[in-house]
Structure 1
Amino acid sequence: MHTAAAVADFRTYPLISALSGVQNLADRVSIVWADGRISPFHHVWLRDNCPCEQCVYTVTREQVFEIVDAAPDLVPANAHIDSDGCLQIDWQDGHRSRFDPGWLRAHAYDDESRAERLAAKPKAYLWRSDLQLPVFEYSALMNDNGALLQWLIAVRDIGLTQVRGVPTEPGSLKLIAQRISFIRESNFGVLFNVQSKANADSNAYTAFNLPLHTDLPTRELQPGLQFLHCLVNDAEGGESIFVDGFAIADALRQEAPELFQALCEIPVEFRNKDRHSDYRCLAPIIALDALGRVAEVRMANFLRGAFDTSVEQMPLLYRAYRRLIAMTREPRFRLMQRLNPGELWCFDNRRTLHARNAFDPATGARHFQGCYIDRDELLSRILVLQR
């Protein structure tokens, strides 16, 4: 049962359990499900979430009703299960709301239902040096939405993937990136060329080794996904190195909680300045989400400003910072691999720190192209493919 009148959403909601009973109480409706679960819904919540066409525009499926336009003491005149198995609320002001049981169960906020939803949320797979690298084929990703979905879930949950069989013509990267969404442009362009050049505006465009870092920590929102596509790689050296920043943060949280907390709370300024731009962002190195889980790592020593914190906190910040960098150098966390022509990395730039060994440009050419896509676009694409 997924009637348009009952579900104001583009998604569908399976009927996990039918409604078997309804009790209208002073400030809420108590639902009894066929599997025995009891879910209370406050009157204000039910009125706020009415999916009818008066409250939700049927074209966009976006709400037009605002709860302030209902009386604060509004209560149902009647609440019952209708002939379609939906919860029907007849309000005292004459308005009627109908709720599909699949939608209602998916949004129930009793303790058991909320715990189920939390347990079902995607979880980051923490990895170390022994990661079995997820590898995907370009032709499948370009032509098969099922393969595309598998790749995007791996990017979301593992944060590091490789794609093989990619054409090596310049600009080919754009085609596969746009299978996800539009590309995020930066001061380095839509596609940027990673190769050694004179008058470089970033250490990435030299032959130096690059220590482990995230790209553009100088921005308020770091790019979510980064792509690096190998067109030519004849030079000696230049191997790619990766660590899972979430795994390192988790280990630090367990091994030195005081240092972990310092990196979550003390902001650090990152700066990216050249002849034409000057980007700066002040933020903690480790960011937590609303549930207290690590959501982001922001790190690039070569783009870091001088620490600016209290006299009392400065020694603690340096202990924490030194420990973090030391952990990124530990073999237990590091995965190293050379990228060959026709291969690309796609990784979560707000999670997976990447580095590059120095290379010798006198031994051959080396040309990568890269681009960025925001993490929001990845998550949106996954949800649409899963419909």
Structure 2
Amino acid sequence: MNSITKSDSEKSVDNGLAIEYRQKQFCDTLVQKFLQLSEERNPNSRRGGGRGVGSGLREATNIVERWILSLQQADAVSDGGCSTKMDKQLPLFPIGMRSDDQKTKLLASDAYDKGFCRLRRSATNLAIGMLAEVERFRRSCHDSEKFLEQPAIELRMLDEDRGCIRVGHEFQSSASRRLPYLAQRFGLAATARMLLRYESLGSGSYQWGDPLSVHRVYYRDFGARYEGFSSPLNSRFLGLDEAGFCSLFPDTDSVFGSLGNFFNIDLTRRTGGWSVNPPFIESVLEEAARRVTDCLDRGTPSWFFMNFPDWRDSPGWSMLDSSPHKLARFDFSPGEFLIQDAYGRASRPKMKLSIFALGRLPHGSPPIERLRDAVFKARPVDLAEEWTAATF
């Protein structure tokens, strides 16, 4: 058993783990808070009356997870003129969130559109209530006296072969072969802290991406060496020669080799091939498309493979499709492609996907259609075996 505590050199790690553990606990309560606020403001709402409880819970979970994820881009993406700053002690929750900023409006809009509020005013009040809940949490965590009284958190790897981490009495990860690899190379405490951060974002699309087999084609056949939106948990290039990845949280991820946030790094100093799979949030997709096309407009000798939802009326998709740097666009219908999560599990989404290739490929590259064929050929059984055999 490995415990986190004791020596002065470990105190900062212990405090960091305590923060992440408490944040995870808090994030787990936000869905129920969202449903409570919905019921208080709309006792006869379309989601009320005990009907569609299962689907209502799933939809509420999706809304809250999407909102928390959108908050993480506060430092990098313009927020409609409103200024937010990430809290260095509690980086999941920006300082300065307001009822009129774009992310709060997104939360209110989702609550109304998905039937949790009958009136837009009620949806706005619900979103304001969620902000108030976050602020109460922030105040409690910034109470230094209470923080110093927090007990040691028990931490251990439960299964060295399958990979399963337990933190405290309430969190136990799913099994993943990536976890013992990270713990052995970078330390169990650092791995647990990073894991809690990403698990607090929920089960949304951020930890899903192209199958490992498709990324091997990017790397082997088309010379890609960088990932634009990744993490230590799901990087397909981790451990490969000359490869690197960008991720959302440099404070927890730099020890694992993260280059930083994709929106903040200098792309002119990281030339070459990129795999870019942004979260499917429209503002993030648009900013990612603009960043890549601007980079290519400046003549940077790079090439990009970009995964976008097939939202043809969205600014980001249109920007890529009309770019003079576009080499190809491959469209996939539901059932024609697989995605794989950070634990190796594969599934077929019920959505359409577009993969764009932009820039100038290196000399000697195979036909670009090889990428399309790799997507079509992916099979769940093969992906599971490949993930198990991978040496992360």
Fold agreement, TM-score > 0.5: no
Structure with the higher strand share, 1 or 2: 1
* Larger RCO, structure (CA 8 Å, separation 6 or more): 1
TM range (shorter): under 0.3
Structure with the higher helix share, 1 or 2: 2
TM-score by length of 2: 0.22
